[in-house]
């Protein structure tokens, strides 16, 4: 297991900010004439989402299992047409499934009280590369991944606030 | 209830992982969670911590999603000069 304290949040934040802003500039530079059409906004939204993940994973580099898994996923994805439901956002899909199967196993289990192994398996689906981690790695990587996600949200919020100014 | 049993099963499959290590990592996760970190009770089961962790990650994913959408709409109306200002402000 890696040293959990090697991450300097400030520098990670600035690395992410630099990369993400660079990506945004690129995305905006490619804007067509009607950049506010719904189709264009949706296309750009998808590109921004990928850019946010890419910038995050590249800022962490290959020092973490989750960032390696995410970079690998993003690289292999860029060769095919993007599927809006693929990759990290599967969390959303899982939730939709959970809601749908209100009589299914998930809800029943929740009502009976939560099981550690079941929850760990759910976590594996949410953390990139989680499927192949041992329990120790999974918990350690999750902690790091959460820190990075909160940084990502913070920075994106800040940028959005500046833009709407 | 089943927590302890499941955990020892996990550690049995990998002899290098001890219950103490798992407890340690779970409590680290616990501290990162906004909901139960501030709750009065210290006695939260490991399974509950993992459940809340999953929920928290999902909510963060949703936030990134929403912010991407918002940024996409905002990009339609901003120009490069504004972007330069933002960049310099953020880099300070």
The phi-psi region of residue A127 (left if phi > 0; otherwise alpha if psi is between -120 and 50; otherwise beta) is beta
Residues of chain B positioned with their CB less than 8 A from the CB of A4:
28
Counting as low any pLDDT under 70, the low residues of chain B are 1-16, 36-42, 78-89, 91-92
Q: Describe chain A by its helix, strand, coil percentages, rounded to 5.
A: 75, 0, 25
Res A133: pLDDT: 95
Residue B37 contacts residue A151 (beta carbons within 8 Å)? no
Give pTM, 2 decimals: 0.73
| Nearby residues of A157 by Cβ (< 8 Å), 6 or more positions away | B67
Sign of CA dihedral B80, B82, B84, B90: negative
Where residue A41 falls among pLDDT bands split at 50, 70, 90? confident
Contact B55/A at CB under 8 A: no
Q: pLDDT digit string (tens) for A58-99?
A: 999 888 999 999 999 988 876 554 444 444 444 444 443 343
B71 part of contact set with chain A, CB < 8 Å:
yes
For chain A, give every domain's residue range.
9-164
- Nearest Cα of chain A lies from the Cα of B90 at a distance, in angstroms, of 8
The answer as to CATH 4.10.280 being correct for domain B2-91 is: yes
Check residues A33 and A45 and name the one with the higher pLDDT.
A45
What is the pLDDT confidence band of residue A54, given thresholds at 50, 70 and 90? very high
What's the pLDDT tens digit per position in A103-128? 333 333 444 457 999 999 999 999 99
| DSSP 8-state assignment for residue A82 | P
Q: Does B51 touch chain A (CB under 8 A)?
A: yes
* Residue A68, min C-alpha distance to chain B (Å): 18
Highest mean pLDDT among A32-41, A48-57, A76-85, B32-41: A48-57
Please give the Cα distance from A154 to A73 (Å, whole number): 24
Residue of A nearest to B60 (CA): A149
Residue A92 is inside which H or E element, if any? helix A90-100
Picking from B69, B61, B67, B66, the residue whose alpha carbon sits closest to that of residue A38 is: B69
pLDDT of B43: 72
Chain B residues within 8 A of A88 when measuring between CB atoms: 61
In eight-state DSSP terms, residue A52 is H
Q: Inform me whether the C-beta atom of residue B77 falls under 8 Å from chain A C-beta atoms.
A: yes
Please indicate if any CB of chain B lies within 8 Å of the CB of A115.
yes
Q: Do B51 and A114 touch (CB under 8 A)?
A: yes
Give the whole-angstrom CA distance, residue B15 versus residue A165: 56
Taking the domains of chain B in order of start, what are their residue ranges?
A: 2-91
**pLDDT tens digits, one per residue of A117-162:** 999 999 999 999 999 999 999 999 999 999 999 999 999 999 999 8
């Amino acid at each position: 297991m890696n040293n959990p304290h090697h991450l300097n949040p400030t520098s990670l934040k600035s690395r992410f900010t630099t990369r993400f802003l660079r990506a945004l500039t690129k995305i905006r530079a490619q804007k067509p004439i009607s950049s506010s059409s719904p189709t264009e906004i949706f296309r750009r939204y998808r590109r921004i989402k990928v850019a946010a993940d890419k910038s995050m994973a590249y800022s962490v580099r290959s020092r973490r299992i989750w960032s390696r898994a995410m970079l690998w996923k993003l690289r292999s994805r860029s060769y095919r047409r993007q599927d809006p439901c693929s990759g990290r956002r599967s969390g959303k899909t899982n939730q939709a499934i959970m809601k749908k199967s209100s009589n299914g196993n998930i809800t029943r289990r929740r009502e009976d009280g939560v099981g550690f192994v079941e929850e760990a398996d759910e976590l594996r689906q949410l953390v990139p590369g989680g499927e192949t981690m041992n329990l120790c790695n999974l918990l350690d990587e999750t902690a790091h991944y959460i820190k990075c996600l909160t940084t990502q949200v913070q920075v994106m919020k800040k940028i959005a606030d500046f833009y709407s100014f | 209830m089943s927590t302890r049993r499941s955990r020892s099963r996990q550690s049995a499959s990998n002899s290098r992982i001890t219950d103490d290590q798992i407890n340690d990592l779970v409590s680290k996760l616990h501290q990162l969670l906004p909901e139960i970190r501030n709750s009065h009770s210290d006695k939260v089961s490991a399974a509950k911590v993992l459940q809340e962790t999953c929920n928290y990650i999902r909510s963060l994913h949703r936030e990134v999603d929403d912010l991407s959408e918002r940024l996409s709409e905002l990009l339609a109306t901003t120009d490069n000069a504004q972007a330069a200002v933002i960049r310099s402000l953020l880099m300070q």
